[in-house]
């Protein structure tokens, strides 16, 4: 089976260099490595990209966002079976790709595979072990911030991978339309994971596929940019994908969660980005609901319900 690793770069500099160094140490080498540059402006990054001779570099000349850049790379992958997404601030341990490919052999029905992501500055702390989607429509990284030795981490089903270190079955990726480029950044992996689930392609968590992850190294974990795109896009993913019966059932909870996030983030001093995110999401609601017509659905409502988190806490 052939696999390509795609890294999306935007002013990633030293992080990208370190990411590529770790990738060279894989016990199972990727059949192709592609760095997609989203129109970097940093001189050091541009010079480094020009010096790379052992990977393919795609300079887009425009910033298409994360999903758009991955889609561009995927268009060029002929006769490949799997596509790995790896953020420049994610540093793959030597067995990462080998573990993912072994899982793909054992679980050919799965459309995506999630890595175990550990904090770069403290490798005893989990950054994420696959993504969770709550019945309110709010996603989060499973076990984020918890001690790894205190968590039960068997291989098995999760709702979606975090695209910072994920592998997708390329035929399934194309069948559901790849990443939604209108998301630009954040929650695009939950949206894709949801569409894969609806199409009958589950996600498998691979605990031996380990990466060290900084997280939001370019945009900032709590920046206005992150707040805006994350909270706008979680509404979009919810409206697009939630089966109708569950949408009706959970909408009051979604609205309560929206009000709560407006309150908490405003108290934190970021009222402008969170209110803009929700206003833009509601303005775009009709368009998101229309997208439901194009969603491929092969599973029951009960199947999706069983995969959603129902406890009122992380």
Residue-by-residue pLDDT tens, the chain, 314 positions? 999 999 999 998 889 999 999 999 999 999 999 999 999 988 888 888 888 888 999 999 999 999 999 999 999 999 999 999 999 999 999 999 999 999 999 999 999 999 999 999 999 999 999 999 999 999 999 999 999 999 999 999 999 999 999 999 999 999 999 999 999 999 999 999 999 999 999 999 999 999 999 976 555 568 999 999 999 999 999 999 999 999 999 999 999 999 999 999 999 999 999 999 999 999 999 999 999 999 999 999 999 999 999 987 66
Same domain, 132 and 82: yes
Is 313 within the bounds of a domain? no
Residues 126, 187 within the same domain: yes
Give the model's pLDDT for residue 309. Answer: 96
- Residue span of the structural domain in which 12 resides: 3-213
Contacts of 226 (CB under 8 A, 6+ apart): 186, 216, 219, 220
Rounded Cα gap, residues 314 and 304, in angstroms: 19
Does residue 312 belong to any structural domain of this protein? no
Q: Classify residue 75 by burial, with Cβ atoms within 10 Å: 0-12, 13-18, 19+.
A: exposed
Q: Of 154, 182, 213, which one is at a domain's C-terminal end? A: 213
Q: Are residues 29 and 166 in the same domain?
A: yes
Q: Please, what sign has the CA dihedral across residues 249, 253, 259, 265?
A: negative
- Using an 8 Å Cβ cutoff, are 193 and 200 in contact? no
Residue 309 lies in a domain: no
**Beta strands at 3-9 and 82-86: parallel, antiparallel or unpaired:** parallel
Q: What is the pLDDT of residue 218?
A: 59
Which pTM does this prediction carry?
A: 0.95
Q: What is the pLDDT of residue 5?
A: 98
DSSP-based three-state secondary structure for 146: coil
Pair 241, 204 in one domain: no
- Based on the fold, state whether residues 94 and 180 are members of the same structural domain: yes
Co-location of 93 and 236 in the same domain: no
Is 27 a domain residue? yes
d(CA 209, CA 58): 26
What secondary structure letter does DSSP report for 261? Answer: H
């Amino acid at each position: 089976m052939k696999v390509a690793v795609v890294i999306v770069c935007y002013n990633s500099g030293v992080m990208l260099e370190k990411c590529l160094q770790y990738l060279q140490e894989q016990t199972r080498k990727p059949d192709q490595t592609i760095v997609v540059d989203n129109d970097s402006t940093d001189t050091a990054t541009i010079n480094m990209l020009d010096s790379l001779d052992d990977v393919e570099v795609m300079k887009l000349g425009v910033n298409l966002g994360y999903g758009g850049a991955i889609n561009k790379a995927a268009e060029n992958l002929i006769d490949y079976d799997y596509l790995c997404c790896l953020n420049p601030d994610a540093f793959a341990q030597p067995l990462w790709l080998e573990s993912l490919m072994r899982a793909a052999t054992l679980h050919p029905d799965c459309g995506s595979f999630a890595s175990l992501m550990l904090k770069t500055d403290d490798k005893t702390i989990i950054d994420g072990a696959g993504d969770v989607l709550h019945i309110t429509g709010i996603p989060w990284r499973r076990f984020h911030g918890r001690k790894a030795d205190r968590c039960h981490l068997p291989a098995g089903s999760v709702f979606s991978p975090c695209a910072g270190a994920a592998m997708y079955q390329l035929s399934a990726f194309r069948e559901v339309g790849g990443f939604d480029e209108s998301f630009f950044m954040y929650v695009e992996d939950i949206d894709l994971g949801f569409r894969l689930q609806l199409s009958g392609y589950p996600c498998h968590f691979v605990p031996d596929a380990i990466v060290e992850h900084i997280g939001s190294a370019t945009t900032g974990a709590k920046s206005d940019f992150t707040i805006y795109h994350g909270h706008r896009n979680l509404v979009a993913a919810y409206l697009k994908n939630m089966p109708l019966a569950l949408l009706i059932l959970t909408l009051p909870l979604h609205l309560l969660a929206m009000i709560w996030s407006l309150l908490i983030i405003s108290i934190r001093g970021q009222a402008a980005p969170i209110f803009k995110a929700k206003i833009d999401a509601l303005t775009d609601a009709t368009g998101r609901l229309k997208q439901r017509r194009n969603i491929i659905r092969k599973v029951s409502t009960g199947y999706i319900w069983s995969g959603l988190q129902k406890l009122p806490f992380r």
